[in-house]
Amino acid sequence: MKRPVAWLLAGLLSLLALPAVAQERAWSEGPVTNVSAIKIVDGQFENYMEYLSKNWKVVMEEAKKAGYVLDYHVYGAQAHNPQEADVYLVVTYPNMAMLDGMDAKMQPIQEKVTKMNVRQADEASGKRTVMRTLMGEELLREINLK
């Protein structure tokens, strides 16, 4: 008599575990990627690529060493009309939390690389409008399927 009761009790307890199994997600959150869409002004492609190579790339490499950035890329695109971007700057961060306080994290790196304080860097960014227009940004989170 004790054996059937034990089996019944074990069966009932296993049923309690089913909701926990059913609630497990089929995915997990992955890294976060920021995509900046850039429209290059006619005749400024080489100048903008030089800026990216001498400044932006160096800042990104330092950010990778610090663990703030996982990876970064520059993509060229063939715009279908004048309102579309022709260059995309893509930066991947470990997670969404890394973006909290990112300006404060990046400021020492930017000052070290560019030798400019915040005001000077802001002014330099404004001057780059003769080379490019920021069309917009999109934040994407990778979804890892299990």
Written as one string, the DSSP assignment of 123-142 is HHHHHGGGTEEEEEEEEEEE
Q: Would residue 9 count as lying in a domain?
A: no
Q: Would residue 136 count as lying in a domain?
A: yes
**Domain extent at residue 73:** 27-145
Splitting the chain (146 residues) into consecutive groups of 10 residues, what average pLDDT does each group show?
60 62 87 98 97 96 98 96 96 97 94 88 86 97 97
pLDDT of res. 120: 87
Give per-residue pLDDT as tens, 6-29: 555 566 666 666 555 568 999 999
101 Rama sector, left if φ>0, alpha if ψ -120 to 50, beta otherwise:
left
Task: List the CATH number of the domain containing 119.
Answer: 3.30.70.100
pLDDT of res. 44: 97
Q: Would residue 22 count as lying in a domain?
A: no
Specify the number of domains making up the chain.
1
